[in-house]
Amino acid sequence: MWLFFAKDGIELQTLEDFIKDLARNAPQLKDACIDKFGADVMSLKKSPWNQALIHKCTIRAQELVDVWPDGQFGEEPIDWLKLFNDKFYRIYKAIIDS
């Protein structure tokens, strides 16, 4: 996850393409970058790109848990959205503080 902090943010053209066509230009998990164009933590958190990326992360995490053979994640449902929002919040804060 902290690779998002270390990597360059999304290119402006990619972000503009996403705004024009959300479905076609949505973030992919492989080699993903976050939107670092915000002036503060809340604007990074509200970024449609970052929200779409978090959504993809939550879906993929649940898919992995669903097929994990040994049940190591337990029987209780996991609030992936909260977990990823919390993790990304720390990344946004580190970006703004740097």
Residue range 2-8: mean pLDDT, rounded: 70
Count of domains for the chain: 1
Distance CA 8, CA 50 (A): 14
| Placement of tokens 């449902």 in the chain | 77
d(CA 29, CA 55): 10
Residues 32-57 as b or e (16 or more Cβ within 10 Å = b): ebbbbebeebeebbebebbebbbebb
Residue 36 CA to residue 48 CA, distance in Å, equals: 12
What per-residue confidence (pLDDT) applies to 2?
58
pLDDT digit string (tens) for 37-59?
Answer: 999 999 999 999 999 999 999 99
Query: Containing domain of residue 35, as a range?
Result: 3-97
Per-residue pLDDT reduced to its tens digit, 65-90: 988 878 778 778 899 999 999 999 99
